[in-house]
Amino acid sequence: MQQVNDFFINLHSILGGHPWFVFFLVGTGIFFTFYLGFPQIRYFNHAIKIVKGKFDKKTDKGDTSHFQALATALSGTVGTGNIAGVALAIHLGGPAAMFWMLLTAFLGMCTKFVEVTLSHKYRDFDEQGMVAGGPMYYMKKRLNITLKNKKVLQTGKWLGIFFAAATILSSFGSGSLPQIVSISDSIFATFGVKHIITGAILSVLLALIIIGGIRRIAKVTEKLVPAMAIIYFIGALSVILFNYENIIPSFISIFQYVFTGTAATGGFIGASVAFALNQGVNRGLFSNEAGQGSAPIAHSAARAHEPVSEGMVSILEPFIDTIIICTLTGLVLLSSGIWNEKVQNKFQITDIQVLANSYHQNNAIHIDQIRHHLNTDEKLAVFNGNLTVSNGKLTDSVTIIHARSIAEDVLFVNKNEPYSGPIKVSSGKIVELPSSMKIEGMSLVHSAQLTTLAFTKSYFGGWGKYIVSIGIMLFAFSTAISWSYYGDRSVTFLFGAKYVIFYRIVFVVAFFFASFTDTTIIWNLSLLTVVFMAIPNLFGILLLRKEVKSTIKQYWVDFKEEHPDVKIPEKL
């Protein structure tokens, strides 16, 4: 499993973790923001009116209302990225990572507007009469290349096939696996319910919902999304207001280190500007999925007589998902102060690295060396060979790095007894550890565990962890529901509607088994699948930029004829 995890990390460093992907994603958002004249600002109020159904027609075709499509898309984006993903971004990149998440969301509002407009415009209806839409359809219909001899190369078709295949893979990597892992971990930590039991119960519920297709999914999400947002909002405010003296410093810290990088503070080793930017953009994309091409599949099902109106509805999605909900989570983490505090916890093997020499938290030179080791190519020597453990304690002069912090009071426990014996280490990674052994100690924590601790620093005290557990369960479960739809529309595109039932069975089975799988590997897999979808989609919308602009222009011409008394948004 360690080798698999290392492979995912190395591949991600070439793709999504490399600066070129960050510039590509952000650059696309910047380009369309200026090219279309800041539609995320100009069309915001108009989008709210569309969601309310003010301009609906009885003749509109589709499977869902504008609000249901928005709720379904939001249920797909509002998930573990809003709770665990924000915590991981701040854990890795410091408070400045929040700034890049917010910027990614603002630009993503425009990117999503474009991709949804195109996907809705070129949607199809399958043999069962249900809407089949998404980027793979505009790719298939609009991205073929015609040569001078009038021969047509089916480039769009193959690009659509690649995107659909990536979407199916991503439905597991983004929509199923990390969601149930976060749920089962949280439920176990809070209520003591075994992972496999949580997985079994939720797998049955998932199967009952997704078997009914988009109409049943939409009926569930339109009720679930508002409810879970209200619960989480109340819980987050209880933390922020309880730590009211830290509200302003928390806001300042988000912007203070944007161009300098976050220095070491508490147990936090520090992060460079480039590292914070990379983590913020990647986690922002994982949270709101703007540019990834997933949400257009849900929006394509909306009843509308033209595509631009649904594109405008999608502008609201990154705003709600990231600018509101992720900001709340970020302020919870920063105002509580828990983000840079070491706590007693059980170590995950994939988060551990053993350095060959001894380094200390209170030595500024040592901290600077480890910061460079974690954030740059200036690597320190790592341990190789057998560590010696006596009565649970290391006897070697080495340093254990866990969760990007210097671990303290490390204890090796086997079958609830202090362990004595060798621990094999290869290239700084622990290998061949008995399944019954646990490693405990003081270190930073990340993901859902960090957010859970932050929520206990509130008016609710220890009860705050229950809000996180309920929030994670609702957020993550709703994400799995929506992603099952994204996957089954991709199966329809590739093989036909009759094969969707087989996909749903595999989806539910994988959902169950993932409930007791290592979280780090699943997070790293999910980052890869996001990139596999985003790259062809971003290329596609850039190639069709002129068509997008002309489609929007025609929308306002038609709208003015139908609604002469309604004021049209002015250019900025």
- At residue 435, the pLDDT reads 79
- At residue 572, the pLDDT reads 57
Q: Can you tell me the distance from the alpha carbon of 265 to that of 337, in angstroms, rounded to the nearest whole number?
A: 11
Q: Can you tell me the distance from the alpha carbon of 184 to that of 199, in angstroms, rounded to the nearest whole number?
A: 7
Q: What is the dihedral of CA 300, 305, 311, 312, to 10 degrees?
A: -140
- At residue 520, the pLDDT reads 63
- Domain coordinates of the chain in residue numbers? 2-341+455-562, 343-443
User: What pLDDT digit, counting tens, does each position of 462-483 carry?
Assistant: 899 899 889 888 888 998 999 9
Q: Can you tell me the distance from the alpha carbon of 199 to that of 219, in angstroms, rounded to the nearest whole number?
A: 23
Q: What is the CA radius of gyration of the chain?
A: 24
Q: Can you tell me the distance from the alpha carbon of 566 to that of 571, in angstroms, rounded to the nearest whole number?
A: 16
User: What pLDDT digit, counting tens, does each position of 205-258 carry?
Assistant: 999 999 888 889 999 999 998 998 899 999 999 999 999 999 999 999 999 989
Please, what is the end-to-end C-alpha distance for the chain in angstroms? 53
Q: Which of 224, 215, 222, 220 is nearest to 301 (CA)?
A: 215
Q: What is the dihedral of CA 184, 187, 193, 194, to 10 degrees?
A: 20
Q: Can you tell me the distance from the alpha carbon of 534 to that of 430, in angstroms, rounded to the nearest whole number?
A: 34
Question: Token digits for 349?
Answer: 């093997």
- At residue 58, the pLDDT reads 87
Query: Degrees (nearest 5) of the Cα angle 219, 223, 489?
Result: 40
288: part of which helix (H) or strand (E)?
helix 273-288
Classify residue 361 as exposed, middle or buried by CB count within 10 Å of its CB (0-12, 13-18, 19+).
middle
Task: Give, as one character, the DSSP assignment of residue 424.
Answer: E
Which CATH number among 3.10.310, 1.10.1760, 4.10.240, 1.20.1740 corresponds to the domain 2-341+455-562? 1.20.1740
- At residue 523, the pLDDT reads 66
Alpha helix positions (H), 362-463? 364-375, 447-455
Do residues 402 and 411 make contact, with C-beta atoms less than 8 angstroms apart? no
Do residues 133 and 296 make contact, with C-beta atoms less than 8 angstroms apart? yes
Q: At residue 27, what are phi and psi to the nearest 5 degrees?
A: -60, -40
Q: Can you tell me the distance from the alpha carbon of 456 to that of 346, in angstroms, rounded to the nearest whole number?
A: 19
Tens of pLDDT, residue by residue, the chain (572 residues): 667 777 777 787 787 767 788 889 889 999 999 999 999 999 999 999 999 999 998 888 899 999 999 999 998 888 777 888 899 889 988 999 999 999 999 999 999 999 999 999 999 988 888 999 999 999 999 999 887 788 888 899 999 999 999 999 889 887 888 788 878 887 887 888 999 999 999 999 999 999 888 889 999 999 998 998 899 999 999 999 999 999 999 999 999 989 888 888 888 998 888 888 888 887 777 678 888 999 999 999 999 989 999 999 999 999 999 999 999 999 999 999 999 999 999 998 889 999 999 999 999 999 999 999 988 888 999 999 999 999 999 999 999 999 999 999 999 999 889 999 999 999 999 987 877 899 999 999 988 889 989 999 999 998 998 998 898 888 889 989 999 999 999 999 999 999 999 999 999 998 998 888 765 666 677 778 888 899 999 999 999 999 999 999 999 999 999 999 888 887 65
- At residue 75, the pLDDT reads 87
Angle between helices 519-543 and 155-173 (to 10 degrees): 150
Q: Which of 262, 235, 342, 286 is nearest to 101 (CA)?
A: 286
Q: Can you tell me the distance from the alpha carbon of 292 to that of 298, in angstroms, rounded to the nearest whole number?
A: 13
Do residues 108 and 120 make contact, with C-beta atoms less than 8 angstroms apart? no
248: part of which helix (H) or strand (E)?
helix 247-256
- At residue 277, the pLDDT reads 85
3-state helix, strand, coil in the chain (%, to 5): 65, 10, 25
